Amino acid sequence: MSALAVRGLTSRRGDREVLSAIDLAFEAGEVTAVVGPNGAGKTTLLRHLAGLDAPAAGEVELGGKPLSGLGAAIRGQRIAYLAQAASAYWPLRARDVVALGRLPHGADLSRPARLSDADAVQRALQRVDGVRFADRSIDTLSQGERARMMMARALATEAAVLLADEPVASLDPAYALETMAILRAEAARGACVIVVLHDLGLAARFADRVIVLANHGVAADGPPAIALAGDVIEAAYGVGFRHILVDGVMQPVAWERRD
């Protein structure tokens, strides 16, 4: 049984259909990259998977049961969601931001942390190599350090499903590679990791499976070498690609505009 699945999912914004009757299933222990041109519905798909939007038709299933039937707290425990350009509105201490990931488990920042929550927060900080920033205020951190803390916040929930919306956008290469390594480590621990990416090179290299969204539907779905093949992504993006082999990994490079 799949960890997470969508059946006949249709999503509308106004009278425009963003996703039309798509079927997908996601497995535990895998990193699935969702790619596609702007406006293809990547973020929309992720929001449906997180239960943030209600589908116009179809259903999202978590472990075979409808997501809409789960209580908000249970959903929060099972699915961690890292929003695009996630940030905090107040200059909170980094450790407190990470501790917010324990909220679905009943944590309360205004009370002394329970041992299980403090341990989970510490583990999450270690996984992102962020222990040394933990006691600094979040607004004094660099963008990369802050993104790392937001990732730690999502990891602290220790959910079976981790959804990340463009976690490497606006990060330098070092942070981007580190973020992908963190996601791989989560999958190795058995989590079902679904990540929206714009960088096809990272998707080709780090994902077990790539889903290409285009024209309201799934244009390709499979191992990176197949889903990111020239004809598929050229049609999806309307751009000419070159493929370069680096250390045995095929790297697609957007090369020329097509009109």
- Residues at the site binding other proteins, with contacts judged by CB under 8 A: 47, 50-52, 71-77, 79-81, 83, 86-93, 96-97, 100-101, 103-104, 107-110, 137, 153, 157
Q: Report d(CA 206, CA 224) in Å as an integer.
A: 9
Closest contact distance (angstroms) between CB of 51 and other proteins is 8
The DSSP line for 145-160 is HHHHHHHHHHHHT--S
Q: How far is CA 181 from CA 132, 207, 236, in A?
A: 19, 10, 27
29-52 burial, b at 16+ Cβ within 10 Å, e below that, comes to: eebbbbbbbeebbbbbbbbbbbbe
Q: Report d(CA 186, CA 164) in Å as an integer.
A: 12
Closest contact distance (angstroms) between CB of 136 and other proteins is 11
Q: Report d(CA 183, CA 17) in Å as an integer.
A: 31
User: For other proteins, which is the closer residue by CB, 28 or 109?
Assistant: 109
Closest contact distance (angstroms) between CB of 103 and other proteins is 5
Please state the φ and ψ torsions of residue 175, each to the nearest 5 degrees. -65, -35
User: For other proteins, which is the closer residue by CB, 24 or 97?
Assistant: 97
User: For other proteins, which is the closer residue by CB, 55 or 104?
Assistant: 104
Closest contact distance (angstroms) between CB of 163 and other proteins is 8
User: For other proteins, which is the closer residue by CB, 74 or 249?
Assistant: 74
Judge contact between 182 and 151, C-beta under 8 A: yes
Closest contact distance (angstroms) between CB of 239 and other proteins is 30
User: For other proteins, which is the closer residue by CB, 73 or 181?
Assistant: 73
